[in-house]
Amino acid sequence: MTERKNLADLLTSLHDRYSELLSLEQEKTELLVKGDAEGLTPLLNRQQAILLECHNLETKRQALCSAMGHETLLELAEHSLQNKLIFMPLYEKLKAVMDQLQDVAERNRKLVETRLSTLRHLQEKAGLSGQGHLITTKV
């Protein structure tokens, strides 16, 4: 039972971290819409720290699942009724926040691409393209 409790606690922590990332992604959306590039730096630093935490938690999750004889959380949850009752609600909660995070991150990526495209267009109109000025890379 200890492994189950440890995994359930870990999944709750993972959900909390991904929820924090979701909040930061939503803040990032506001900064991108405003064009506040300076505000992005501290946000990205916080985001990077949380991503490292998530990576560490994911590594621990994989090790716990493996120690319990399963490769994935879903596989573990489907192994027995007791596991299903414990882990399916956590799995669904975690999946929901990760789906939201993916949607907001994709929206932010599109915002960045749109901004860069606009800057490239303005650069060309000003006759600065090909001279190493302003925007020369793609996302």
pLDDT of 53-88, one tens digit each?
A: 999 999 999 999 999 999 888 898 888 999 999 999
Place of tokens 């596991």: 83
Domain boundaries, the chain: 2-99
Count of C-beta atoms within a 10 Å radius of residue 15: 19
pLDDT of 5-56, one tens digit each?
A: 999 999 999 999 999 999 999 999 999 999 898 999 999 999 999 999 999 9
Q: Quote the CA–CA distance of 36 and 42 in Å, as a whole number.
A: 12
Q: Quote the CA–CA distance of 12 and 30 in Å, as a whole number.
A: 27
Q: Report pLDDT for 123.
A: 82
Residues 6+ apart with CB under 8 A from 71: 65
Q: Is the pTM of this model over 0.85?
A: no
Measured CA to CA in angstroms, residue 106 lies from 28, 63, 116 at distances of 12, 30, 15
* Contact of 7 with 67, CB cutoff 8 Å: no
